[in-house]
Amino acid sequence: MPSKLSVGELIEASEPRFGAVRELDETEGLDQLVLLALARELPFKKARAALRRLKQDFVDWNDVRVTPAHELARGFEGGPPGSAYRKAEELVDLLSTLYLRFNKMTCDVGRTETATPESTKLRSRLMAFLAERSSLYACLMPLFGAKDDDVVASPELTRPLVRLGFVEARASDASARETLLKRTKPGERIAAQFVLHQIASRVCGAKLTLCGECPVASKCPSAKIPVPPPPAKPAAKSSGKPTSKSEKTTSKDKKTTPQKK
């Protein structure tokens, strides 16, 4: 069934719940990666403000990495309940793993103009690490530093596009990418991919869908919203005649109860 949504409506409906990044325009690769992490569940403006605050309040990302999550969480308010602490923990874990596995905190991940054999090797290791973490990072970080907005083919992008009716059920990842390129204007593609990856990872899983929690369920042709159970029927009014065993017993008991004189 064709989609009832435009890509613009998809972004608008999803951002309050899942957040969004609208452009990949940070100067440093690691700043961009942190912005993507912050923007999960935070609207773009709040995520960017949180990034600026971190850069202002801490010496560097290593300083952020060793800060307790509950302290960082204070700057991440504005998302769903409980998301600020979860986000702080995720950020500390992401930075710590980057630090330990790559032994540096300034991975400039998308710059082809500075490519050397060493940087190419580092970049492919980093991309493999990001793919382990999230399809969102793996698909958007290669676009950091690119001249034009592009779409990166991925099963996690194809799945929600199929379910939302943007592409046919058996569409390949490559044809889903082509469709999204045609259906989006430059400037819309980064945000569209961001929210589609968020939908895929949070509610529209390969095996489990949580359509009742999906912000675009009302316009999704594949939505399966659980039907609430019917309200309990009110108890039938008594007709005055005994209708149950207990009532019969009560009337019999009355007859046998000795009367006071």
The Cα–Cα gap between 71 and 232 comes to 47
Q: Please, what is the minimum distance in Å from the beta carbon of residue 180 to ligand SF4?
A: 15
Q: Whose Cβ is closer to ligand SF4: residue 64's or residue 161's?
A: 161
Q: Whose Cβ is closer to ligand SF4: residue 32's or residue 154's?
A: 154
Q: Please, what is the minimum distance in Å from the beta carbon of residue 31 to ligand SF4?
A: 31
The Cα–Cα gap between 18 and 4 comes to 20
Q: Whose Cβ is closer to ligand SF4: residue 163's or residue 183's?
A: 163
* 41 Rama sector, left if φ>0, alpha if ψ -120 to 50, beta otherwise: left
The Cα–Cα gap between 21 and 113 comes to 24
Q: Whose Cβ is closer to ligand SF4: residue 88's or residue 217's?
A: 217
Distance between terminal CA atoms of the chain? Answer: 83
Q: Please, what is the minimum distance in Å from the beta carbon of residue 193 to ligand SF4?
A: 15
Q: Whose Cβ is closer to ligand SF4: residue 11's or residue 34's?
A: 11
Residues that bind ligand SF4 (CB under 6 A): 160, 163-164, 199, 203-204, 209, 211, 214, 216-217, 220, 222-223
Asked if 21 and 194 count as a contact pair (C-beta separation under 8 A), the reply is yes
Q: Please, what is the minimum distance in Å from the beta carbon of residue 216 to ligand SF4?
A: 6
The Cα–Cα gap between 228 and 208 comes to 19
Q: Please, what is the minimum distance in Å from the beta carbon of residue 1 to ligand SF4?
A: 11
CB within 8 Å of 196: residues ≥ 6 apart: 10, 156, 157, 160, 161, 180
